[in-house]
Amino acid sequence: TIQTLEDMLRACAIDFGKGWANHLPLVEFSYNNKYHASIKAAPFEALYGRKCCSPVYWTEVGEAQILGPELIQETTEKIVQIKQRMQAARDQQKSYADLKRKPMEFQVEDKVMLKVTPWKGVVRFGKRGNLNPRYVGPFKVLERVGDVVYKLDLPEELSRVHNTFHVSNLKKCHADEPLAVSLDGLHFDDKLHFVEEPSH
């Protein structure tokens, strides 16, 4: 779906930084050679009636020496990373309908990501438009205030923001990283709109 592609491109921009556009062929390769339930095949296989034969798979037949094992290894690792991101995007889309029907529930001490809204037309994180991160964090849940409201432990950088949020602005954080999206170089208003501070 369009949402899955957008999530993949956003992940690529975050993972590969300024060189993200150089990895678009690998994203395309991964997407076109991954099984799609809607067509019961990978797009490449559905279009051409056969599986894709790529140098990435030549290692199995001993032709790695032709291209150089380092290139094949590096490409394979990037494709694995992209495929993992694709699966995460698909999982997110699959659970989206359930999230709409039933609000998420968090426990005290859970780590959550907080939704942020970019100012329109401003370059943020060195990227434009839809490829910007939508969430910052993770932050610890301090307490449940109501059925769908939670109080978070926010850092000093977000001192202007009220620390109580509706569940629709939160999502579960599954990573143990200290900050999945860093707050460095950003400032927020009280509505969690952010802009990147210009470099001096």
The whole-angstrom separation of Cα 80 and Cα 88 is 12
Higher local confidence (pLDDT), 196 or 176: 176
pLDDT band of 126, cuts 50, 70, 90: very low
Q: What is the model's pTM?
A: 0.42
Contact 174, 95 (CB under 8 A): no
Predicted pLDDT at 85: 74
Predicted pLDDT at 67: 52
Percent with pLDDT over 70 in the chain: 65
Higher local confidence (pLDDT), 135 or 183: 135
pLDDT band of 143, cuts 50, 70, 90: very high
Predicted pLDDT at 177: 53
pLDDT digits (tens, 9 = 90+) for 26-78: 888 888 888 877 777 888 888 888 888 766 554 444 444 445 567 667 777 77
Do the bridges between strand 170-172 and strand 111-115 make them parallel or antiparallel, or are there none, so unpaired? antiparallel
Whether 108 shows a pLDDT value over 90: the answer reads yes
Query: What does the buried/exposed string (b/e) look like for 161-187 if buried means 16 or more CB atoms within 10 Å of the residue's CB?
Result: beeebebebbbebeeeeeebbebeebe
Strand partners, 150: 144, 165
Whether 154 shows a pLDDT value over 70: the answer reads yes
Predicted pLDDT at 46: 80
| 132: three-class secondary structure by DSSP | coil
Angle at 140 between CA 94 and CA 117, to 5 degrees: 60
Which of 41-45, 141-145, 146-150 ranks highest by mean pLDDT? 141-145
The whole-angstrom separation of Cα 114 and Cα 167 is 10
Average pLDDT, the chain: 72
Predicted pLDDT at 168: 83
Alpha-carbon torsion (110, 8, 165, 136), positive or negative: positive
Domain ranges of the chain: 2-101, 111-196
